[in-house]
Structure 1
Amino acid sequence: MVVVDNELWIEEQFGQCDFGDSRRTKRMKLVAANMLAGPEKSLPGQNTQWSELKAAYRLFDSTEVTFESTASEHWNNTKQTRPGRYLLISDTTDINLNTHKATTGLGILGDGRSRGVQLHSSLVYDSERGVVVGQAGALLHYRKLKPKGETRAQRLARVRESDLWGNLVDQIGPAPQGSQWIHVFDRGGDNFEAMCHIKKTGTDCIIRAAKLNRIVLNQSGEKVSLNEACQDAQLLGSYTLNLRSRSGVAARKATLEVSVTSVTFLLPHRKSQWVKQCGIKTLEMNVVIVQEVNAPEGVKPIRWVLLTSLPAETFDDAWQVIEDYENRWLIEEYHKVEKSGCSIEAHALRTTSRLEPLLGLIGVIAVRLFQLKLVGRNQPNAKAKTHVPKHWLKCLKLLRPKVKVSELTVYEFFRELAKLGGFLGRTGDGEPGWQTIWRGYKEMHSLLDAMRLLGQL
């Protein structure tokens, strides 16, 4: 992955957005540039001139500027994957806007005492190069209180939170020729309908099972619970995992056994109208079970039951599925960037129709911050002079004159950049986070602006 300047990156992500007027597209690029310069700030903090701030408010008030129209250009760019193997990692996060009492149209969160919106996103990860490509799509959901006395059939007939998983698969669509797309879901995506959406798009999946008591057909064609089918799985091998300490649990080495089986999912007794009409009656799935053995007394043993359309005949097959699922942390970290790096929950606008395009913009900006964190780690040996803008190297040389900039790798360049943002780089400090990298980038960018004013770039 070659890192480009903010100006070029903004043009790539927003330059072709269709807002019904080229002036709105130009304004969106200006708002995006101001947000990149201070992603943690509010809109007034990013657009410091009153004329700029009014223009930003007018932009988000336009009916042509929506969540989808703001982010669609980035989504389309992301989905143009070159031949290879990609994970589409999805999850839902709550955007808590409870402090913004004046904002109308929000849904409920948690136990119903908080207000906000649920954001369901899919992040594309190139598993061969170890690179976050971008966001493939996203949906917003406003949860309502469950009507009193609602029946199961009535619930299936209305829009449900569980619909997000399948609807986002449809929004993203099939993979380009030569690309293998693998949807990676946590337990929230374990439902027959979501699996049908994946099958109809011709993509693959890895889903952590949540409903272990559901009835399936085992390898002998017998009706058993999924949990019972797992008990007859074939043991392929084991491995050791070092677990860090957490609240109430000491660090330990866990021995994990890997087993596999296959099952057939049956059409649910109660199903939505979409499932009735999609034409899929059964779904065949391989199952990879990761089970901790000899866990310490009083400690709940690790157990993953992973449903997948990928091959799972050998230990190497199963290990690939496990390794893919372990990359789920990327979407969780991405949502942290949206919340802490871009202060997504701090922005206050009067209506959800104005808020939605702002959420779409923040989702794209967060990709930029997250990519800068990972690019150095994923290309440790690539030369900075071929993967980083030349004036970035020139600027770093001025800020850190003792560093031999011409000899830096991409990994070393971003560590030096993070040091400008407060990263000490001592033995045992680990790797810099996106916050120190971004603070260092802003330090460098201030010098770049000064150099442009002086005509040195």
Structure 2
Amino acid sequence: MTFESVTAAHYARTRKSPSSVCLVISDTTEIDYGYKSNRPGLGRLTASNRRGFFLHSALVVDSCDGQVIGLGAQELYTRSTHKLDRVKVVKGCKRATESEVWGRLIDRVGVAGDRVRFIHVCDRGADNFDVFAHCVQQQSSWVIRAAQLSRKVKLEDGQIIKLKDLLDRTVVVGAYQVYVAANRK
């Protein structure tokens, strides 16, 4: 029995949502087994002395009423127990990176059904061209928090400026605040 075999039916049912516009909210959760755990299959977490695994999830929510429809897809992964050095790309070959999980999850969610639109909502970990390409391939829209504010963008008039400069001169057309309760430990 595998994680995929247990969850596949739920994902398929979720992706057949009758809602017209669905937000697909993705993020990663650390499952922490502590620093003394020697269980097989665990990897290094954000705090390098901790062991566990990561669960990257795509939660599907009805955009009209905010109701959770279900999980569109999930992926389990681990890091090496030893921190790896960053490597340069050599002749077009590169080591797989954690950031690729965003694109794989978008592909697993797939194309929305008839008269349904998926809008992927991701944090700045998904701010890269490959993720945008996966959204286009899956015929989805996306809202991704910008992380690379110094990247250059080309305006309609041909002018090239930093994304931060474009945002600074853009008129805000709406805003709202979300209040989150303090984390009490």
TM over 0.5: same fold? yes
TM-score (norm 1): 0.37
Q: Which has the larger radius of gyration?
A: 1
1:243-254 counterparts in 2 under 5 A?
none
> Deviation at 1:79?
0.7
1:119 to 45, 55, 58: 55
Equivalent residue number for residue 169 of structure 1: 106
In the alignment, residue 148 of structure 2 is paired with which amino acid?
K
In the alignment, structure 1 segments of 5+ residues that lack a partner are 1-64, 248-457
Q: Any idea what SS the aligned residue of 1:213 has?
A: coil
> Deviation at 1:97?
1.2
Higher strand share: 2
In the alignment, structure 2 segments of 5+ residues that lack a partner are none
Q: How far apart, CA to CA, are the structure 2 residues paired with 1:87 and 1:241?
A: 19
Equivalent residue number for residue 11 of structure 2: 75
C-alpha RMSD of the superposition: 2.6
1:48-447 counterparts in 2 under 5 A?
65-98=1-34, 101-144=37-80, 145-148=82-85, 150-153=87-90, 157-233=94-170, 235-237=171-173, 241=177
Q: How far apart, CA to CA, are the structure 1 residues paired with 2:86 and 2:69?
A: 45
Q: For the structure 1 residues 219 and 170, does the alpha-carbon distance in structure 2 shift closer, same or farther, using more than 3 Å as the test? A: same
- Paired residues of 2:88 and 2:94 also in contact (CA < 8 A): no
Q: Any idea what SS the aligned residue of 2:98 has?
A: coil
Higher helix share: 1
- Paired residues of 1:83 and 1:177 also in contact (CA < 8 A): no
Aligned residue pair count: 182
Q: Any idea what SS the aligned residue of 2:34 has?
A: coil
Q: How far apart, CA to CA, are the structure 1 residues paired with 2:99 and 2:83?
A: 14
Q: For the structure 1 residues 120 and 75, does the alpha-carbon distance in structure 2 shift closer, same or farther, using more than 3 Å as the test? A: same
Deviations 1:429-452 (A, max 9, x none): xxxxxxxxxxxxxxxxxxxxxxxx
Deviations 1:198-239 (A, max 9, x none): 011101111111110112212322222111221332x25466
In the alignment, residue 91 of structure 1 is paired with which amino acid?
D
Q: For the structure 1 residues 111 and 129, does the alpha-carbon distance in structure 2 shift closer, same or farther, using more than 3 Å as the test? A: closer
> Deviation at 1:146?
4.2
Deviations 1:167-203 (A, max 9, x none): 0011111000110110000111111111110011101
In the alignment, residue 211 of structure 1 is paired with which amino acid?
Q
Equivalent residue number for residue 298 of structure 1: none
Q: Any idea what SS the aligned residue of 2:103 has?
A: helix
- Paired residues of 1:87 and 1:181 also in contact (CA < 8 A): yes
Higher RCO, 1 or 2 (CA under 8 Å, sep at least 6)? Answer: 2
